[in-house]
């Protein structure tokens, strides 16, 4: 009786649903690369506007990049290029907040970048540089709040 029950259990287990196929990596899809390139272009535009003293246009470029930022970060493992584009947008936004004396909000924005680059693996000279920029920006915020 026991061997028959064991065989029956094995047959029932073998008849279960097939495992789900692995999900495709969203970072390899066309939309992801296009969104990364678009956000990087918005970053360059905002940087150019900010350098020219046109903060309204810089703010508009930053604001239009926020939905792209959210979409790029919605994947479980964003690419380095996407993370850099997101980081650049956050840095620009933080610098604008700092210039407008919104020290707490600027600090929060720079802290996101610090956490992003502190946890990035593998560490590269560029990720170390970006982490140090974020640390310096946080220190500037702290000086402004005193």
Closest C-alpha among 76, 104, 72, 111 to residue 90: 111
Q: What is the pLDDT of residue 2?
A: 72
How far are the Cα atoms of 77, 80, 111 from residue 117, in angstroms, in the given order? 14, 11, 10
- Global pTM value: 0.82
Instruction: Show the tokens assigned to 84.
Output: 């850099």
62-101 pLDDT per residue, tens: 999 999 999 999 999 999 999 999 999 999 999 999 999 9
CB 35 within 8 A of CB 87: no
């Amino acid at each position: 009786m026991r061997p028959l029950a064991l065989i029956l259990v094995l047959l029932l287990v073998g008849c279960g649903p097939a495992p789900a196929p692995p999900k495709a990596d969203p970072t390899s899809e066309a939309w992801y690369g296009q969104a990364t390139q678009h956000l990087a272009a918005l970053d360059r535009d905002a940087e150019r506007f900010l350098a020219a003293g046109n903060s309204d246009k810089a703010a508009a470029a930053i604001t239009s990049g926020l939905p792209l930022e959210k979409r790029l970060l919605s994947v479980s493992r964003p690419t380095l290029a996407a993370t850099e584009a997101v980081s650049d947008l956050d840095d620009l936004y933080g610098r604008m907040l700092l210039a407008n004396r919104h020290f707490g909000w600027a600090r929060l924005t720079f802290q996101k970048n610090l956490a992003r680059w502190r946890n990035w693996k593998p560490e590269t000279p560029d990720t170390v540089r970006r982490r140090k920029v974020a640390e310096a920006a946080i220190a500037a915020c702290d000086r402004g709040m005193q």
